[in-house]
Amino acid sequence: MVPLYLDDCFIDKRVVRQLRAAGHSVYVTSELGVYGQDDEPHLANATRLGAVLVSQNRKHFEPLHYRWETEGRRHTGILVTRQLPVGQKFQWVERAGRLLTPDLADNQLIDLAMFSTEEKGLTFVVSLAP
């Protein structure tokens, strides 16, 4: 299990409520008082908290991941996705949060679609193991 850090465009209360009810540790930008920050401070916050950042903003976080890599900076994991209906949003993030571990997620840029089913999620998590 990994803590989750939901960015400004992912902080849907319905998703947060359900994730917490399922026992997940969820950081929400609005509650942290870091609403409306740029993407990079969000990634730094998530990393400080040891959480996996979840975002729909792939066009920003994909390049940011590689920029940090060239700068020798590390993060604690990024999950990116296309826009999804609220049901899939919750199910996929819940599965990712449950199946990933901090070690496996460390410094990884991951497509949330890897967790569209339980079987796929498990296979993917095994593929991440060294």
Partner 1 sequence: MTPNTSVPLSACRGLDSLKRRINSALALAGVKQVNSGMTLAFKHLITASDGDAEIAGKGLRVYTVLGLYEMGDSAESIAENYDVPIAAVYEALAYAADHSDEMEAITRADLEAEQRMLARMPEHVRRMAEEGIQEGEQARQQAIRGANEARRGAAIS
- The distance between the two most distant Cα atoms of the chain, rounded to a whole number of Å, is 38
Name the minimum Å distance from CB 98 to partner 1.
Answer: 16
Q: Is 18 in the site for partner 1 (CB under 8 A)?
A: no
Q: At what angle do helices 118-128 and 86-99 cross, to 10 degrees?
A: 40
**Is 44 an interacting residue with respect to partner 1 (CB under 8 A)?**
no
Distances (CA, A) of 114 to 25, 97, 128: 21, 12, 12
Choosing from 6, 24, 26, 29, the residue that interacts with partner 1 (CB under 8 A) is: 29
Name residues contacting partner 1, limited to 91-120 (CB under 8 A): 92, 109, 111-117, 120
Contacts 24+ apart (CB under 8 A), 20-25: 22/94, 22/98, 24/94, 24/97, 24/98, 25/1, 25/51
Window of 19-27, 44-52, 75-83, 100-108 that interacts with partner 1 by CB under 8 A: 75-83
Is position 1 an interface residue for partner 1 (rule: CB under 8 A)? no
CA–CA dist 100, 122 (Å, integer): 9
Decide: is 59 part of the binding site for partner 1 (CB under 8 A): yes
Please report, as ranges, the residues that interact with partner 1 according to CB under 8 A: 7-9, 11-14, 29-30, 35-39, 56-60, 62-63, 80-88, 92, 109, 111-117, 120, 123-124, 127
